[in-house]
Amino acid sequence: MEQRKLGGLEVSAIGLGCMGMSEFYGPTDEQEAIATIQRALELGVTLLDTADMYGPFTNEELVGRAIRGRREHVVVATKCGIVRDPNNKGVRGIDGRPEYIKQACDASLRRLGIDRIDLYQLHRVDPRTPIEDSVGAMGDLVRAGKTRFIGLSEASAATLRRAHKVHPLASVQTEYSLWTRDPEDQGILDACRELGIGFLAYSPLGRGFLTGQIKKPEDLAADDYRRFSPRFQGENFKKNVDLVGRVEETAGAKGCTPAQLALAWVVAQAPFIVPIPGTKRRRYLEENVGAVAVHLTREDLARIDEIAPPGVAAGLRYPEFMMSSVNA
């Protein structure tokens, strides 16, 4: 597979987000999840993205089991900064204090069963802790040999610039897709280009909506958190289904699936962008990886811009209480 650079870290052009293998998107199957990770490695995917809050904690353990004996073929990316109570999973906080970051890194290393994390990311910027202090602690982890590279998640362009002065950032991870193009007009992609920082696009399939597999709210499991997402509710849902219909038509004309078109679009935006679609099943993984073979011409990209211009999606990408944790 094509390789791309996140700062100085080389990874496959498409990575694998592992969050849904442990929670959030309905029932889970650990055996199938591990098989999916291992199949990804066989297909040339090298980047696996997880976080301590997924599960919480259990997703890192799952990834660790899946890569045992395969460590040399994997770029392991994990995150800290969102704190959850295992006894009340709905309770969350944000912590970017240096002492917390260092403790969290040691805990992630134990759960993953590895001696060094390839990419350690701050999941959310802590408004109570100067970003210089948080990134300073992450730089200490690099110098201690506990992580190779560091990055941020959901950070503004201004925050990226402040952080990068303290210690070079390899990446910033933010939602980016045909229905979430905020990084374009918020200057985040421009900052990445200017500073040589890679961009990890999470939810590049619109939390599954852009695959065309979700036609009505009942297609989601009763415990699927997307049922509480503004874009999956009421009139917003109906409008967004219409958008997906246009994506499906364009994909059909191109001879690929809607998911492949959506991923190919993200890949085509800049050479420093790496989408990390999440899936917990091998069949969807193989479909996603097939996006690397989809070449979009200038005319294709212009057509896609017509059907999915910035701001086209109806509804906030997170509920308001979750949007408040996004650094702007």
Closest Cα partner for 96 from 69, 63, 135, 70?
135
Burial 298-307 (b: 16+ CB within 10 A, else e): eebeebbeee
C-alpha span between 217 and 128 (Å, rounded): 38
CA distances from 302 to 73, 224, 263, 276, 278 (A): 37, 34, 16, 24, 27
216's tokens:
């009505």
Q: Kindly list the catalytic residues.
A: 54
Distance CA 111, CA 22 (A): 14
What SS3 state is found at 117?
A: strand
CA-based radius of gyration for the chain: 19
Q: Which of 12, 26, 325, 311 is nearest to 177 (CA)?
A: 311
